[in-house]
Amino acid sequence: MPTVFFAASPDELRVVAAAAARADTSAVLAALDTVPAGDLDPAQLIDLDLLVTGTDPAEVRETVLTPAHEGPDDAGGTVLLPVRRALGSRLAHLSDHDVDALAERWAAADGAADGGWDAYRCGQLIRSLSLLALLAGADQRELFVRFDS
């Protein structure tokens, strides 16, 4: 299943984690605000966070790669990772011009010419994440991302 960003309260996250343990998050995520991210991987999320926040790379890696919840036996499967609050907050306040500039920089860093994401695709995801961050903030929920390994 593709990568999906979602907004969840602590109770909703527990429900998603329980569904992930059963390898059945589709129905649970359908009830939440989500943004599909296709084949985005954790390294690309780290790159986005670094570009948006300018935070120390070690701090970003440690936070992003500390799972909110993992599969029951840690043998792979679905991993739920938090989106750093600093990233969500900054995404929620980007202008269109900021999104376009950020998308260009992210695509260049991702190696769009070498099969990575192009600026258009990066921009679409950033715009969608910006809206999701606004919704999450209004509902007092946090942002998470589900990766299948």
pLDDT in tens, 99-113: 999 999 998 887 655
Query: Residue 149 has what pLDDT?
Result: 62
Per-range mean pLDDT, top range of 25-39, 53-67, 69-83: 25-39
More confident residue, 112 or 138: 138
CA dihedral defined by 93, 79, 20, 7, rounded to 10 degrees?
A: -10
| Beta strand spans in the chain (E) | 3-8, 34-38, 69-70, 78-82, 142-148
User: H-type helices in 37-91, by residue range?
Assistant: 42-53, 57-64, 85-91
Cβ(48)–Cβ(79) below 8 Å: no
Work out the pLDDT band at 1, boundaries 50, 70, 90: low
Q: pTM (2 decimals)?
A: 0.87
